[in-house]
């Protein structure tokens, strides 16, 4: 049996280290989401003082069946980097969504979770909380959300249940969807159409509200300023799309 030379041993060791590093990265990318959710539920249970009964955490990895190959690859890459503690957990049982909410809407954040939209109330506060997600990733399930579905937001400040009361399709310039509503709300934002090839031209908006009206003095929240640039042609086209979707649902 031939004895390996020093150089061959060095090559073998380097190869083993590369394999170990790759395996560790893959393991972390699969384990991070359920581990993050589990840690959040454990921390919430420890600090809630039994005010509410916490739901059982979902230990599964994300359901990739609706995801695009590009988004799955981006998710696995993003999950292998250091991830901050989530602001909360968003759950929509009717469509199987349970995902951590991170701060911000940059590409890295949305590749590994959904993101809290800047200048909207923090999760757990009154007002209209904005949360964004990718249409070919965590938020693809929004296509199947219906009026009356429950949207649960779990934070260290408390757990809030919202009920879907409006679904809209708007141009990306229309930031009025993040404005203050009559009731404490959560607004979910993703690109539209869901299966559009390339950069999607519109935004799919899911509004959900609580049962209790907002105390404006407590909320202390002002609507984002509405930007210019929405032409009559664009507005008419959006209305045509909405009418087409509604007619198909009736059928």
Strand 128-132 and strand 150-155: pairing? unpaired
Total residues belonging to the chain: 251
DSSP run (H or E) holding 247: helix 232-250
Strand partners, 161: 152
The catalytically annotated residue of 49, 116, 134, 212 is: 134
Strand 128-132 and strand 183-192: pairing? parallel
201 SS3 class: coil
Q: Is the peptide bond before 116 cis (omega within 30 degrees of 0)?
A: no
* Active-site annotation holds for 134: yes
Structure tokens at 67: 């995801």
Residue 159 phi/psi, 5-degree rounding, is: -110, 135
Structure tokens at 49: 């003082």
Angle (nearest 5°) at CA 15 between 13 and 18: 110
Among positive and negative, which fits the CA dihedral 186, 59, 144, 84? positive
* Active-site annotation holds for 116: no
The catalytically annotated residue of 191, 207, 212, 232 is: 191
Helix 6-47 vs helix 69-79: crossing angle, to nearest 10: 90
List, by residue number, the catalytic residues: 134, 191
């Amino acid at each position: 049996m031939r004895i390996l030379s020093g150089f061959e041993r060095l090559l073998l060791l380097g190869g083993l280290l590369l394999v170990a590093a790759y395996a560790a990265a893959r393991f972390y990318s699969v384990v991070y989401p359920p581990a993050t959710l589990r840690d959040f539920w454990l921390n919430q249970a420890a600090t809630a003082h039994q005010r509410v009964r916490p739901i059982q955490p979902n230990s599964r990895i994300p359901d990739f069946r609706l995801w695009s190959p590009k988004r799955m690859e981006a998710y696995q890459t993003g999950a292998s980097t250091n991830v901050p503690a989530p602001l909360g957990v968003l759950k929509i049982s009717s469509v199987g969504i349970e995902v951590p909410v991170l701060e911000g809407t940059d590409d890295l954040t949305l590749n590994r979770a959904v993101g809290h939209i800047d200048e909207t109330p923090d999760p757990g506060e009154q007002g209209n909380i904005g949360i964004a997600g990718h249409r070919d990733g965590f938020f693809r399930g929004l296509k199947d959300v219906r009026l009356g579905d429950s949207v649960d937001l779990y934070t260290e400040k408390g757990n809030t249940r919202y009920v879907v009361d409006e679904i809209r399709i708007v141009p990306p310039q229309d930031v009025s969807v993040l404005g203050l509503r009559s009731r404490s709300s959560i607004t979910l934002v993703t690109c539209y159409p869901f299966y559009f090839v390339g950069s999607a031209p519109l935004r799919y908006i899911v509004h959900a509200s609580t049962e209790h009206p907002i105390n404006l003095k407590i909320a202390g929240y002002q609507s984002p300023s509405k930007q210019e640039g929405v032409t009559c042609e664009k507005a008419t086209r959006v209305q045509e799309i909405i009418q087409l979707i509604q007619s198909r649902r009736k059928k």
